[in-house]
C-alpha cells in the first residue's frame, strides 16, 4: 500500500514560492503535510516577502493536491513523537525548533507501522537524520518478521533528478535556472556544480 508523500516546510516553501508546484506534484503525486508544517508555511509567507507567493499557491492546492494531516494527539502519534524526541507530544509541540520535520517523520512512522509505504520530502539535515533513524527501526522490525511498511526519504535534489528531461525541466539551462531560484530561497542547498544535476543521464 502507498499513501500520499508527506512533505516538510522547507521544500514546500521553496517550490511553491517559485511557482513550481506542478513540477513537485508531477514527481510525487498528491501531497500531504502535518498541520505544523502548514502553520510554518503560512507564517513564513507572511514574515518573509520571498515566500509570499507560497501562501497563494497553497490555498489553490488544498485540499485536492495538499491534504493537511491533523496533529491532534492520538496514542500512535504521541508514541512516535516520544520515541523520536524523548519528550511527551504535549511538551514537544510547545517548542517550534525542528517541529515540522519531527511531525513529518512521526506521521510517516504511524502510517508505516500499519503497513504503508510512505515517502517523506525533507531537506533539513537534522530532519533527515530523524527520518533515517526511523527507516532503520522499521527495517529491524521487518527483519524480525513484523508486518510493517517502510519510509522512503527524498530531498529537493531527488525531485529535480526525477524531473530532469521531462516537460518541466527539458534541458540543462532550465535545470540551472530552477536550481538557482530554489537556492536563492535556501542556502542550505549546495552549489549546482557540486551536484550531478547537470550530468543526469536524462540529458543524453
In the chain (204 residues long), the average pLDDT of successive 10-residue segments reads 87 98 98 97 97 97 96 97 95 90 98 97 95 97 95 98 96 97 95 93 78
Containing 163, the helix (H) or strand (E) segment is helix 156-163
Edge-to-edge strand ranges of the sheet holding 117-121: 66-69, 31-34, 6-7, 117-121, 150-154
CB 32 within 8 A of CB 67: yes
| Cα dist from 90 to 6, 84, 98, 109, whole Å | 22, 14, 15, 18
pLDDT of residue 1: 45
Domain 6-158's class?
Answer: alpha beta
User: What nine digits make up the cell of 162?
Assistant: 526525477
The candidate with the shortest Cα–Cα distance to 115, out of 131, 133, 134, 138, is: 138
pLDDT of residue 2: 57
Residues 6+ apart with CB under 8 A from 78: 88, 89
Residue 62: CB atoms within 10 A of its CB come to 14
**Distance of alpha carbon 195 from alpha carbon 192, whole angstroms:** 5
Please state whether the predicted TM-score (pTM) of the whole model is above 0.85: yes
User: What nine digits make up the cell of 43?
Assistant: 507564517
SS3 24: helix
The burial class, CB within 10 Å (0-12 / 13-18 / 19+), for 195 is: middle
- Extents of the domains making up the chain: 6-158
Angle subtended by helix axes 99-112 and 125-143, to nearest 10? 20
| Residue 65 DSSP label | T
Q: Which residue has the cell 540543462?
A: 172
Amino acid at each position: 500500500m502507498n499513501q500520499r508523500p508527506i512533505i516538510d516546510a522547507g521544500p514546500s516553501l521553496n517550490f511553491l514560492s517559485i511557482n513550481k508546484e506542478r513540477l513537485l506534484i508531477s514527481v510525487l503525486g498528491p501531497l500531504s503535510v502535518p498541520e505544523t508544517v502548514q502553520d510554518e508555511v503560512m507564517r513564513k509567507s507572511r514574515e518573509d516577502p520571498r515566500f509570499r507567493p507560497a501562501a497563494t499557491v497553497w490555498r489553490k492546492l488544498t485540499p485536492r493536491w495538499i491534504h493537511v494531516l491533523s496533529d491532534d494527539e492520538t496514542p500512535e502519534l504521541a508514541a512516535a513523537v516520544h520515541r523520536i524526541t524523548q519528550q511527551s507530544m504535549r511538551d514537544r509541540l510547545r517548542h517550534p525548533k525542528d517541529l515540522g520535520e519531527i511531525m513529518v517523520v512521526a506521521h510517516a512512522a504511524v502510517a508505516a507501522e500499519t503497513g504503508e509505504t510512505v515517502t517523506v520530502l525533507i531537506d533539513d539535515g537534522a530532519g533527515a537524520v530523524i527520518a533515517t533513524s526511523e527507516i532503520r527501526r522499521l527495517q529491524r522490525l521487518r527483519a524480525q518478521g513484523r508486518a510493517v511498511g517502510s519510509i522512503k526519504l527524498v530531498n529537493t535534489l531527488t525531485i529535480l533528478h526525477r524531473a530532469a528531461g521531462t516537460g518541466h525541466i527539458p534541458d540543462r539551462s532550465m535545470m540551472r535556472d530552477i536550481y538557482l531560484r530554489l537556492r536563492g530561497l535556501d542556502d542550505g542547498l549546495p552549489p549546482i556544480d557540486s551536484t550531478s544535476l547537470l550530468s543526469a543521464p536524462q540529458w543524453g
